[in-house]
């Protein structure tokens, strides 16, 4: 079975500062990894994903994440936070190969301080 751990349910950063949201996963087979973002009272939308190939993946709105197999991590970063980045972020994993369900982390709420 797979699982996801997101460290920190709330993260606050100043506008213009580095954003770092942490995600560690466990999976018995090579994983597909995702970050989704949720704005208040809305559904989730995909920020970025790792399936195969390059381990540093770039997503929308200037976010990127690096798949580190040795650390079982997929941390999300953005060099400079913007007020519009305030939202809840979810890391997710699913085992590769065939149909498999997606497992979500508990989410991290990002606050951006002006």
Partner 1 sequence: DGGITQSPKYLFRKEGQNVTLSCEQNLNHDAMYWYRQDPGQGLRLIYYSQIVNDFQKGDIAEGYSVSREKKESFPLTVTSAQKNPTAFYLCASSVQGAANEKLFFGSGTQLSVL
- Give the nearest distance from C-beta 28 to partner 1 in angstroms: 17
- Give the nearest distance from C-beta 6 to partner 1 in angstroms: 8
Dist. CA 65–CA 15, nearest whole Å: 20
Footprint on this chain of partner 1 (rule: CB under 8 A) = 9, 32, 34, 36, 41-46, 49, 51-52, 90, 96, 99, 101-102, 104-107
CB within 8 Å of 107: residues ≥ 6 apart:
6, 9, 38, 88, 89, 90
If we measure between CA atoms, which residue out of 83, 90, 91 comes closest to residue 111?
A: 83
Identity of the residue, 6 or 73, whose beta carbon is nearer to partner 1 in the bound complex: 6
Identity of the residue, 1 or 83, whose beta carbon is nearer to partner 1 in the bound complex: 1
Identity of the residue, 64 or 104, whose beta carbon is nearer to partner 1 in the bound complex: 104
> Contact at 8 Å (CB) between 93 and 5?
no
């Amino acid at each position: 079975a797979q699982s996801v751990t997101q460290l920190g349910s709330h993260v606050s950063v100043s506008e213009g500062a580095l954003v770092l949201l942490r995600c560690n996963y466990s999976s018995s087979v090579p994983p597909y990894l995702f970050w989704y973002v949720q704005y208040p009272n809305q559904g989730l939308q995909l920020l970025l994903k790792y399936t195969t190939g390059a381990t540093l993946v770039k997503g929308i709105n200037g976010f990127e994440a690096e798949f580190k197999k040795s650390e079982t991590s997929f941390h999300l970063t953005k060099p400079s936070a913007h007020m519009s980045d305030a939202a809840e972020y979810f890391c997710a994993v699913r085992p590769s190969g065939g149909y498999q369900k997606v497992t979500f982390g508990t989410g991290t709420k990002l606050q951006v301080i002006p």
